[in-house]
Each structure stands twice: as C-alpha cells, then as structure tokens.
Amino acid sequence: MTEHIVSAFDAELKELGRKVVEMGGQAERLVADSVLSLIRRDSTMAQRVVLLDATIDHLQREIEDKAVLVIAKRQPMAVDLRDIVATLRISNDLERIGDLAKNVAKRVLAIESEYHPQKLVRGVEHMSDLVLEQMKEVLDAYAGRDAEKAMGVWRKDASVDTMYTSLFRELLTYMMEDPRNISVCTHLLFCAKNIERIGDHSTNVAETVYYMVTGQMITDTRPKADETSETTVAFPPRSVEG
C-alpha cells in the first residue's frame, strides 16, 4: 500500500469511530430523556424520544454500509479488521439501546394519567442512574481504547442486575397489596426490564471494546445477578427478601 492509501484508510477508520461515538451520545441522551420523562411525567419529552429513535436506526445503517465498504475496498489486516468488526457490533448494541429507550417512553405515555407510586418510580430512576454511568464509561473506554475501563464496566453489570431483582420483587409485592396498581406496575416492570437490558447491551459493548483493544475475549464468566426470570413472589406478600 502506498502511504496515500494508508492515510485514506486511516481517515475512514477514524470517520467510522466518530460515527459510533456520535451514535453513543445520542443513545445516552435517549435513555436519559426517557427516564426523565417518566419522573417528570412529561409526555412531550416522551414523544420526542419515540421520534428520535429513528435517527439512531439511521446511523446504524450508515455505519454498517460504510464499514462493509471499507472492508471490501481496503482488505484490511487482522488488527484493523477487528476494529471494523467492533464498529459493527457496537453500533448494533447502540441501536438496541435506542429501541429500549423508545419502549420506556411509550410506556410513559401509556400511564400518564394514572397514579405513579413515587417510591417505585425512584427505584427505576436509581437503576437508570447506574446504567447511564455504565454507558458513559463504556463509550469513554471505546473512544480511549481503554481495555481496563471496559473491564470495569463489565464487572459492574452485576450491580444493575441486583437492583433490578430487588425492584422486581418490590413491584410484585406492591401489585399484590393493591390490585389497583397492577396496570401501572406492569408498565414500570417492563421499564425496569428495559433498563436492565440497556445495562446488558452496555456490557456487550464492554466485551467488544476489550476484544478490539487486546484481541482477547474476556474469559471470566459474565457476572449475572438478574435472577428475576427465576424469581417469584409468594402471595400473601412476604418480606421483599422472601
């Protein structure tokens, strides 16, 4: 390869990286706004989240098209190929995060006229604070090619899952105590599940960044503390530890 071609290739890689960072920023904002619209009961904001998800979908297709063209045109060597494949995987996870934020926003619209149990809404907020921090960290890790930071995000996913499991129990208990809350709590349950899954996708991104930087997979077993698919709450409500 001549130097000219090499630097054009470099520029293309950088451009792809910039697009991923841009997409990450947009996904972060959608997640933050979807939860804010829940807390503030702000339908206008929720509607905006629903609409804006399309721009993330669009960015993903753009990144995919571009990445594939770069691979076909440049026949990159192993290390650069890893970089481009990472781009594809991360944009995929970010697209899913956008979808999940959109779904939270739709549920905000569904329950806007109903009574919001503040304690439970706060529970969703706390979870999302942690998940947003994870997203921020992992996008920094991507931008700075920081495998250690990625590993840190990966390790912390278990705390998101723990919060979700405890919120799941609380929501179920709340429904049992007063069936009038079933409809609202069901939507909050799905909101919480969506946010937990946003955490999972951030963990996927962490794995991809680690692989991109080191060429190695994270070999530890993934910390998994969301036990709610195996969790039931007995009726009548026991302690939430039950």
Residues that bind a copy of itself (CB under 8 A): 64, 68, 71-73, 75-76, 81, 84-85, 88, 92, 103, 106-107, 109-111, 114, 172, 175-176, 179-180, 182-184, 186-187, 189-190, 193, 229-235
In this complex, which beta carbon is closest to a copy of itself, that of residue 6 or of residue 235?
A: 235
In this complex, which beta carbon is closest to a copy of itself, that of residue 14 or of residue 180?
A: 180
In this complex, which beta carbon is closest to a copy of itself, that of residue 137 or of residue 189?
A: 189
- In whole angstroms, how far apart are CA 89 and each of 61, 80, 81, 84, 217? 12, 14, 12, 9, 14
State the nearest-atom distance from the C-beta of 143 to a copy of itself, in Å: 23
State the nearest-atom distance from the C-beta of 192 to a copy of itself, in Å: 12
Contacts of 95 (CB under 8 A, 6+ apart): 23, 56, 57, 60
C-alpha span between 42 and 108 (Å, rounded): 8
CB atoms within 10 A of CB 236: 7
Cβ–Cβ under 8 Å, residues 124 and 38: yes
Structure-block tokens of residue 109: 């619209």
State the nearest-atom distance from the C-beta of 230 to a copy of itself, in Å: 5
In this complex, which beta carbon is closest to a copy of itself, that of residue 128 or of residue 194?
A: 194
State the nearest-atom distance from the C-beta of 149 to a copy of itself, in Å: 24
State the nearest-atom distance from the C-beta of 117 to a copy of itself, in Å: 14
In this complex, which beta carbon is closest to a copy of itself, that of residue 43 or of residue 159?
A: 43
Write the DSSP string, 115-155: ---HHHHHHHHHHHHHHHHHHHHHHHHHHHT-HHHHHHHHH
The helix (run of H) or strand (run of E) holding residue 188 is helix 182-214
In this complex, which beta carbon is closest to a copy of itself, that of residue 75 or of residue 118?
A: 75
- The backbone torsions φ and ψ at residue 222, rounded to the nearest 5 degrees and listed phi first, read -65, 130
State the nearest-atom distance from the C-beta of 150 to a copy of itself, in Å: 18
